[in-house]
Structure formats: structure tokens, C-alpha cells
Amino acid sequence: MNCVNNKKFIDAYMDGELEAGMMLEIENHLGQCTDCSGYLRVKRDLKSALHHFSQIQAPDHLRAQISTLGTRAGRVWWPKPVVVAPMAAAAALMLLFWSTDQPGIPDSSKQEVALVVQDVVDRHVRDLPMEINDSNQLRAASWFQGKIDFPVRPLGPGLKNTTFQGARVSNVRENQAAQMVYTVDGKKVTFMVFPAHRISVAGGNMLTVRGKEILTGRKNGYNVAMSKEGDMIYAVSSDLPVKRLVQLLIDRR
């Protein structure tokens, strides 16, 4: 493990998202490298500071201005509490979640959708190592047996311009998740499968396509499409157009 690779995976190490062998390799490197161990301390201090800032509420006049902007835009949701801090503008904007107003949907459900979208996008943008690299997605789906508590159904063969790259065990919110990575139309696409237990998919922008409800969202420039089937949720994230992501879910076998 060299310093470049150590810093590349340090966020995943902090969150405990790496496999045991990789975690041990990074720990051994940190024990021998003062530069990387100092880098880890800085990252942890920053994370702690951001958590502290998240507890600070915006003044009433700012909340009122934001509410007015949301009314003009027609479909913006702002979770409470609103974040303000020395990094106020950037931190606050990261919490925006655009959705279609749906009467009767509680704010808690809307907030849960925003957090799920954030988790799905976070897993997509992080260049974490795959635990299995196999061009056959069906073999990869079988690999998950005994590692997670539910069966995994991949996107399936026959999808146009789609190549399977690899898979790893991950998580969305407090639930285990199967993460499968594809290349679609030359772009990276992350496909997540996870239980719907304690997760609401109400409150976002909902489309009905071929009789199937698809919830769509956007975070940090990436699109997300999700569908709930029984007690499982299937989600895809990419910078591909949301219409293409919806098509992947609809055409999945």
C-alpha cells in the first residue's frame, strides 16, 4: 500500500466500507506513515466539524426567504433544520432535493428519500475496489450468497450497450446492499439492491412507466432512479439522462 492508494481509499476506510483485507492493509500503512496518519486526523477533524455545523439552525428570516424561493420554483423541498456555518452556502445547497409536491406525503418520508438518494450517489462516485471482478453478472449475483441476507437480481442480460464490471457488498442507510457496477453507453452506472425495511420511497418525483412506479432524484450532478418491488428496492445512479436510467429499471429482467 503506497501513499497515493492509501489517500484514495481513506474515506471508505473511515466509514468502514472496505473489505477486511484492505482495512488491515491501510491500518498497517497508517502505523508506519506519519504523512498519511496526519492526513487521516485532518479528515476526521473535518468530518467532526461538519457534524457540529449541521446542528446549527438558520435564523427565521433566512428560512422564510428560502421558503419563498421554494414556492416560486414550484417543487423544492428543504429539510429541517437548515444548515448554516462558515461553509454555509455550499453545505446548505448540498441538502437540496428537488421533488414534485405530493399532498399527504409527510416531511419525514421526503427526508428519507433525500438521504437514500444521497447514499446511492455517494456509492456511485466513490472509486471503491470491487470485491469481485467478473464479466458475468449472473456469477457475481451468486457470489453474494452467504454475504448478504437477501437474493440479488442483477440488471440482467440483453440490455443494449451494457457491460458488467464488478460487484461489492455495500450499504444504503442502515441496510445491507449489493452494489454492481456497469458501463452503459460508455458511462459508469451503479446498480444498488437493498431491502426496503425502514426506508420510504414516497415524496420524490414519481413516474409511472409500463405500470411500474419509478422514483427519480438528482444529487451533485448525478441522476438516480429507484423502484420498489415487494420488499426490495432497486436503484441506479449515473450522469446518464434520467430517462436512460428509468429504461434500465423497466427493461431489467
Q: Model confidence over 132-174: pLDDT tens digits?
A: 988 899 898 899 999 999 999 999 877 889 999 999 999 998 8
* Residues 120 and 236 placed together within one structural domain of the fold: yes
What pTM did the predictor assign? Answer: 0.60
Q: In what order do the strands lie in the sheet with 162-172?
A: 162-172, 175-184, 187-195, 232-238, 222-229, 212-219, 205-209
Query: pLDDT category, 203, cuts 50, 70, 90?
Result: low
The model's pLDDT over 4-14, given as tens digits with 9 standing for 90+, comes to 777 778 878 88
**Residue 57 to residue 53: CA distance in whole angstroms:** 9
* Residues 65 and 149 placed together within one structural domain of the fold: no
- Please give the pLDDT value at position 163: 93
pLDDT(187) > 80: yes
Q: Per-residue b/e over 165-181, b at no fewer than 16 CB within 10 Å?
A: bbbbbbbbbebbbbbbb
Overall number of domains in the chain: 3
Grid cell at residue 101: 409536491
Q: Which domain holds residue 12?
A: 3-53
* Residues 91 and 40 placed together within one structural domain of the fold: no
Does 107 map to a domain?
no
Residue where the block lists cell 469481485: 132
* Residues 200 and 234 placed together within one structural domain of the fold: yes
**Residue 15 to residue 201: CA distance in whole angstroms:** 24
> Going by C-beta distance under 8 Å and a sequence separation of 6 or more, which residues neighbour residue 243?
none
**Which 8-state DSSP code applies to residue 145?**
B
Does 145 map to a domain?
yes
pLDDT(119) > 50: yes
Query: pLDDT category, 209, cuts 50, 70, 90?
Result: confident
* Residues 217 and 237 placed together within one structural domain of the fold: yes
* Residues 226 and 186 placed together within one structural domain of the fold: yes
Helix and strand numbers (H, E) in the chain are 9, 9
- Of the candidates 148, 154, 142, 172, the one whose C-alpha atom is nearest the C-alpha of residue 252 is 154
* Residues 233 and 165 placed together within one structural domain of the fold: yes
* Residues 246 and 196 placed together within one structural domain of the fold: yes
